[in-house]
Amino acid sequence: MRRVFIRLFLAAGLASLVGCASYIAPGARADLQAFAPASIQEGFAAKATAPFPASIAFVRVQAPTYTNYRLQQAGGAYGSGRYSVITTREVEDESQIERIARLPQVTGITSINRMLLPQKLEGDKELREAAARLQADLLFVYTFDTAFFETDLAKPLTVISLGLSPTRKVYVATTLSALLIDTRTGYVYSTYETTKKAETLSTSWGSSNAADEARRENERQAFEQLVGEFANAWPRLLDRHGRKG
């Protein structure tokens, strides 16, 4: 009888620990205003060099203190100042990058790593200098804004309890914003934004890793949408700047 009591006590304690498990929501997006001209005069002064055919450098930026569950385990955020650079590909599939590489007048795709960047990141200059060292004509800068919500609350959740009420619904919303910038002048050719939402029961997340997979999957789909939007807009960009593929 005593053994049975001990087992029940241990089981209850384990259930209590599982019930208290939680997932920390990811950090904030980068403020893309950091890559905009400082004044109206500077905005008009920046000119398109129309460097087509062109190579493109991709870079993901986030808030300066950004982190998420996966980056806490493996690292991958670099820099301080107005933004940080995510140097690992978390959700971007190679097939998506290849789709852009196959567009007319695109000669190649590259990515920016920390070896090309200063520690202090304040604006577009640091990224454009890194892209220039890679001989990339265009700079594609993008940032994820992912938040978790309960369906009956408007405020984003910063901590999500795992494995609680079987009827508690949580949804994840990702907005992905991007700029296509002329490496030489800082001229902004185009802007992009996509949003993806998914709803699930919190009991389907038995661990922080499972909850983070929901984030990554939502961001994967948002990036897929962004690539489609970029590919659809590319011919119009070529027409506007006088180079046709």
pLDDT at 39: 59
Homologous superfamily assigned to 26-240: Lipoprotein like domain (3.30.160.150)
Q: Which SS3 state, helix, strand or coil, does residue 8 take?
A: helix
From CA 185, how far away is CA 88, in angstroms rounded?
Answer: 27
For residue 172, the tally of other CB atoms under 10 A from its CB is 24
Q: How far is CA 207 from CA 19, 76, 163, in A?
A: 10, 22, 8
Point out which residues pair with 177 in neighbouring strands.
143, 193
Q: Which residues of the chain have pLDDT under 70?
A: 1-20, 38-44, 73-74, 152-154, 163-168, 201-204, 242-245
Residue in 150, 179, 195, 193 with CA at minimum distance from that of residue 25: 150
- Angle between helix 94-101 and 208-240 (nearest 10): 0
pTM: 0.86
| CA trace torsion 104, 193, 98, 125 (10° rounding) | 80
